[in-house]
Amino acid sequence: MKAVIQRVTKSWVTVDGRIVGSIGKGINCLLGVEVNDTEAHAQWLADKIANLRIFEDEKGKMNLSLLDVQGEILVISQFTLLADCIKGRRPSFTRAAPPEEAERLYNFFVDYLRQKYNIKTETGVFGAMMQVYIENDGPVTFIIDTKEKFK
Q: Where are the domains of the chain?
A: 2-148
Q: Quick one: which of 18, 40, 19, 45 has its CA closest to 30? A: 45
pLDDT at 148: 86
pLDDT at 90: 95
2-148 placed in CATH 3.30.420.80: no
pLDDT score of 18 more than 90: yes
pLDDT at 132: 98
Residue, of 9 and 148, whose pLDDT is higher = 9
Query: What average pLDDT does this structure show over 111-138?
Result: 97
Contact 132, 1 (CB under 8 A): no
- Alpha-carbon distance 94 to 80, whole Å? 10
Contact 123, 110 (CB under 8 A): yes
pLDDT tens, residue by residue, 50-81: 999 999 999 999 999 999 999 999 999 999 99
Query: What average pLDDT does this structure show over 139-144?
Result: 97
Query: What average pLDDT does this structure show over 41-57?
Result: 98
Q: Name the band, by pLDDT with cuts 50, 70 and 90, for residue 103.
A: very high
pLDDT at 108: 98
- Which positions are annotated as active-site residues? 78-80
Q: Name the band, by pLDDT with cuts 50, 70 and 90, for residue 151.
A: confident
